[in-house]
């Protein structure tokens, strides 16, 4: 079946519907949803029952880059700085040195067991060197897997921030394959330029995006997610145009925004959560359509050998070498090694050699595809089991709750109080988003004269407003009073109520 303008919407919507329905029941059988999306794409492709003819690596690469923008941005928005900060050094070490060691270790192995040149071997190693953010976020959060101490934020930070390193290594070794006499120093220069510009641009664009979102004063709440999407693409494309790493800039910008007070932040985050899932489905379906299973069969043997070496040798060795400077129990190191999921990102990166037209491009693509599938199948389905074996899993009742979860949990002990804004308060005229309240404090309502207002982040505080404040701890209420520079009347006492979710 040929994809045309007339049938692309019908075909696309049917594939999405099948993917969503299949994904709904996949975990009953222990199968990661992303693998099902990929399988549906393969079945719909030219070698499958759907017979859809799609052989365009350029289009697949474009869809992959756009999808990764949404996936990384959504993951960054949902990343709590307070949980990431204690593991920042470990996570960044894994996302840089860990990726480098994985690429070099696997590349060396490939060089000795295949007829690849040294640079072609390292190129294959670089393509599969990073853990996949879509796979890690989807499986860890989808399974609601509770892990001890800082394991989960470490794994999510690594997977969200290591794609830039893998991208730089892929581009660098691809250029060496094309021009073998090129100096290795040029790779170091490329790496430093990409990472430094990407990091600086991500932070600066994060500050600028926060100012734009909080000050643009759009008339419709639904336009704020559209604005965020626009800013996301500007961050990626402009950073790339400056010679920096757009993926790194996207992630840093989104982590910054996710930990700031933004107008209609909940609306933005919910929209990106849904779009991230949509992009994951579209990405895996597209890559499934791009694959010709009949071409993979001859490489199953060598692909399995390389995949097993990556899972059981290269990844663990890279993790252990990277974490030498840090004190960490062996079982935690082993679990980090096991959560080395490869997914869509390596397949997207494998389209670069295809478009460059190098000799081994098709072989590399088919081997990378097999590695990604086997990684998700072997590692993705066993994460909870291995966590229990290594005693790093939390009992289901002991899983930590976020501040929002604590407030919305069924029948929590919640403090509800009214705080009057006095005429001498310095915050009169400021928006709620600019007040700097604790994150687990909710202004449920504002009594203003004879009317009651349901506030949002753009609501401006006025003289003699009475704020109905909801929180879970008395000290947070005290902090609200401190921020407002006002105090409740002595006769007013916090009222503890049972609040249903």
Look at residue 67 and give its three-state secondary structure. helix
Measure the CA–CA gap between 109 and 20, rounded to whole angstroms: 39
Most confident of 177-186, 351-360, 484-493: 351-360
Instruction: List domains and CATH numbers for the chain.
Output: 58-398 (1.20.1530.20), 403-498 (3.30.70.1450)
pLDDT at 493: 42
3-state helix, strand, coil in the chain (%, to 5): 65, 5, 30
> How far apart are the C-alpha atoms of 159 and 135, rounded to whole Å?
9
Rg of the chain on CA atoms, in Å: 25
CA distance 428 to 449: 15
Rounded to the nearest integer, the mean pLDDT of the chain is: 83
224 falls in which pLDDT band (50, 70, 90)? Answer: very high
Q: Say whether pTM exceeds 0.95.
A: no
The stretch 239-251 carries a mean pLDDT of: 93
Q: How far apart are CA 488 and CA 479, in angstroms?
A: 12
Q: Is 18 exposed, middle or buried (0-12, 13-18, 19+ CB in 10 A)?
A: middle
* pLDDT band per the 50, 70, 90 thresholds, residue 341: confident
The answer for residues whose C-beta is within 8 angstroms of residue 416's C-beta and 6 or more apart is 444, 468, 469, 470, 494, 495, 496, 497, 499
The vertex-329 CA angle with 324 and 334, nearest 5°, equals 80
Give pLDDT, residue 331. Answer: 92
Structure confidence at residue 129 as a pLDDT band (50, 70, 90): very high
Q: Average pLDDT, stretch 68-83?
A: 88
Q: Which range has highest mean pLDDT (21-30, 275-284, 445-454)?
A: 275-284
Among 380, 382, 363, 379, which residue's Cα sits nearest to residue 127? 363
For residues 354 and 441, the model is more confident at 354
331 SS3 class: helix
Read off the pLDDT of residues 289-330 as tens digits, 9 standing for 90 and up.
888 888 888 999 999 999 999 999 999 999 999 999 998 899
User: Does position 421 have pLDDT exceeding 60, yes or no?
Assistant: yes
- Centroid of chain to Cα 404: 20
Residue 108 phi, psi (nearest 5): -60, -45
Residue 130, SS3?
Answer: coil
């Amino acid at each position: 079946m040929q994809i045309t303008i007339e049938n692309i919407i019908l075909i696309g919507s049917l594939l999405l519907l099948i993917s969503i329905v299949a994904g709904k029941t996949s975990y009953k059988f222990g199968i990661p949803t992303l693998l099902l999306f990929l399988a549906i794409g393969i079945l719909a492709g030219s070698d499958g029952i759907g017979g859809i003819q799609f052989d365009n690596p350029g289009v697949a690469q474009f869809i992959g880059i756009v999808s990764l923008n949404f996936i990384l941005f959504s993951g960054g928005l949902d990343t709590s700085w307070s949980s990431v900060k204690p593991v920042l050094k470990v996570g960044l070490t894994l996302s840089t040195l860990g990726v480098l060691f994985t690429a070099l270790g696997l590349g060396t192995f490939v060089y000795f067991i295949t007829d690849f040149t040294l640079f072609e071997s390292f190129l294959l190693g670089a393509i599969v060197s990073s853990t996949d953010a879509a796979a890690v976020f989807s499986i860890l959060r989808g399974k609601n897997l509770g892990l001890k101490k800082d394991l989960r934020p470490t794994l999510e930070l690594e997977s969200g921030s290591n794609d830039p390193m893998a991208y730089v290594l892929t581009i660098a070794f691809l250029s060496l394959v094309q021009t073998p006499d090129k100096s290795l120093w040029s790779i170091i220069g490329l790496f430093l330029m990409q990472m430094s510009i990407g990091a600086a641009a991500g932070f600066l664009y994060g500050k600028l995006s926060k100012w734009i979102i909080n000050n643009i004063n759009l008339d419709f709440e639904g336009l704020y997610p559209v604005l965020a999407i626009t800013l996301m693409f500007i961050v990626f494309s402009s950073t790339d145009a400056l010679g920096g790493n757009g993926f790194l800039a996207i992630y840093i910008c989104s982590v910054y925004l996710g930990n700031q007070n933004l107008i209609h932040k909940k609306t933005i985050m919910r929209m990106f959560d849904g779009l991230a899932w949509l992009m994951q489905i579209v990405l895996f379906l597209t890559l499934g359509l791009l694959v010709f299973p009949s071409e993979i069969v001859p490489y199953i043997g060598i692909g399995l050998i390389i995949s097993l070496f990556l899972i059981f040798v290269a990844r663990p060795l890279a993790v252990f070498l990277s974490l030498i400077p840090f004190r960490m129990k062996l079982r935690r190191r082993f679990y980090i090694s096991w959560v080395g999921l490869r997914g869509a990102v390596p397949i997207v990166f494998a389209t670069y050699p295809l478009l460059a037209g190098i000799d081994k491009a098709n072989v590399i693509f088919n081997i990378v595809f097999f590695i990604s599938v086997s990684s998700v199948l072997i590692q993705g389905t066993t994460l909870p089991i291995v966590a229990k074996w290594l005693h790093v899993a939390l009992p289901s009742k002991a899983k930590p709750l976020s501040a929002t979860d604590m407030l919305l949990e069924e029948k929590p002990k919640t403090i509800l109080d009214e705080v009057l804004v006095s005429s001498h308060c310095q915050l009169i005229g400021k928006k709620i988003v600019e007040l700097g309240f604790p994150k687990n404090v909710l202004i449920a309502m504002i009594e203003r004269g004879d009317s009651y207002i349901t506030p949002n982040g753009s609501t401006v505080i006025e003289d003699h407003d009475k704020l109905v404040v909801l929180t879970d701890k008395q000290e947070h209420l005290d902090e609200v009073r401190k921020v407002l520079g006002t105090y409740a009347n002595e006769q007013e006492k916090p009222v503890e109520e049972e609040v249903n979710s």
